[in-house]
Amino acid sequence: MMCGRWAVAAAVLALMLAAGPAAAKKEKEKLCDKGWECKGPSKYCCNDTITDFFQVYQFENLFSKRNAPVAHAVGFWDYQAFITAAAVYQPLGFGTTGGKKMQMKEVAAFLGHVGSKTSCGYGVATGGPLAWGLCYNHEMSPSQDYCADNYQYPCTPGAQYHGRGALPVYWNYNYGVIGEGLNIDLLSHPEFLEQNATLAFQAAMWRWMNPMKKKQPSAHDVFVGNWKPTKNDTLSKRLPGFGATMNVLYGDLVCGQGYIDSMNNIISHYQYYLDLMGVGREFSGDNLDCAEQVAFNPSGKSATS
Ligand SMILES: *[C@@H]1O[C@H](CO)[C@@H](O)[C@H](O)[C@H]1NC(C)=O
Ligand SMILES: *[C@@H]1O[C@H](CO)[C@@H](O)[C@H](O)[C@H]1NC(C)=O
Ligand SMILES: *[C@@H]1O[C@H](CO)[C@@H](O)[C@H](O)[C@H]1NC(C)=O
């Protein structure tokens, strides 16, 4: 069922296996169910959970301009939606892996992607270009209808598959596969992603936590150290760190092209958030960029285009 030219995108399907390598050795680990925001049981919930180190004021600092009059999704995004969405993924390790510093870094990394992809801070915006994350919740002037022939995820008549969400989703097949992952019919109702901030964050977290293809790592895996590069990975300059998260999510749209603006912009958001969260950009980690990385999935057909 995964053949043909949409194989790369369809491969996101594989993701459903995805509790990740850690799931296999779950037995014998102490299981916890700490607080409403980490519904378990899970070994990941024994340590701090996200609300222990990331609170409303920090969210407000990171996204300080999102409700400015000129923003495009005023009143849509809020902290509660982020935390409610995270409750689904914290038991799988999102923001709960590796001790407090790594946990904070993962939240900064995830939100760095989100902030950069939803920013309207280019140019001369007040507060600086990095203060404008979560300015959008959907693409303003779609240049095409993003409907591709797809046997498994055919377009619903009348539905529009332009970019929506916290890590914007484009194309019918991506709405289809992510909807399947979330058990919500996004193929029939892509508009849900611009109507429900919790769902928008959940869709983004699902993408962060799941690989694009079977046997590949997720963005989460490459960031928190769950992933061991193969010889091929090493030859392709793919190494664990923030750089590889861009490779997983965007492939050669962002990676392997030197120090291009689209890559630098994502890194800048990550580091800005590290500073604001009190971690500090000096802890950005090794392999911060993907300027020389070969894409995990060459071709540019990734879920965010
Ligand atoms: C819990 O925290 C400890 C100490 O910070 C860390 O070594 C361990 O990896 C954490 N547990 C999980 C499941 O991440
Ligand atoms: C928004 O999405 C969340 C998560 O899928 C769901 O629990 C909630 O009921 C939705 N809210 C509305 C108003 O549909
Ligand atoms: C390693 O890369 C080579 C060349 O790109 C490819 O032919 C081979 O299948 C890869 N091996 C694995 C195990 O992915």
Read off the pLDDT of residues 34-45 as tens digits, 9 standing for 90 and up.
888 998 789 999
Distances in whole angstroms, Cα of residue 286 to Cα of each of 20, 107, 239, 241, 283? 22, 17, 9, 6, 9
Residues 6+ apart with CB under 8 A from 36: 87
Atom of ligand 1 nearest to the CA of 29: 13
pLDDT greater at residue 23 or residue 209: 209
User: What confidence tens digit (pLDDT) does each residue in 250-301 have?
Assistant: 999 999 999 999 999 999 999 999 999 999 999 999 999 999 999 999 874 5
* Centroid of ligand 1 to alpha carbon of 303 (angstroms): 31
How many of the other CB atoms lie within 10 Å of CB of 41?
16
Q: How far is CA 184 from the centre of its chain?
A: 18
- Ligand 2 pocket test target in 199, 201, 205 with most atoms within 8 Å of CB: 199
Q: Quote the CA–CA distance of 288 and 275 in Å, as a whole number.
A: 15
Q: How far is the CA of 170 from the centre of ligand 2 (A)?
A: 21
Residue 101's contacts (CB-CB under 8 Å, 6 or more residues apart) are 279, 283
Amino acid at 67: N
The pLDDT of residue 1 is above 60: no
**Domain limits, the chain:** 7-15+34-283
Site to probe by mutation for ligand 1, drawn from 47, 223, 226 as the one with most ligand atoms within 8 Å of Cβ, is 47
pLDDT for 28 equals 67
Residue 30 confidence (pLDDT): 87
Give 7-15+34-283's CATH code, choosing from 1.10.530.10, 1.10.287.990, 3.30.1330.90, 3.90.110.10.
1.10.530.10
Find tokens 């997720």 and name the residue. Answer: 218
Q: Is the CB of 98 under 6 A from ligand 1?
A: yes
Structural tokens at position 153: 């995820």
Give residue 219 CA to ligand 3 midpoint distance, Å.
21
Q: Measured between alpha carbons, how far is 153 from 177 in angstroms, rounded to an integer?
A: 8
pLDDT of residue 17: 38
Question: Ligand 1: distance of its center to the CA of 29 in Å?
Answer: 12
- ω into 41 cis (within 30 of 0): yes
On whether the CB atoms of residues 212 and 15 are closer than 8 A, the answer is: yes
CB 241 within 8 A of CB 288: yes
pLDDT-above-70 percentage for the chain: 88
Binding-site residues, ligand 2, Cβ < 6 A: 196, 198-199, 202
Ligand 1 pocket, residue 43 CB under 6 Å: yes
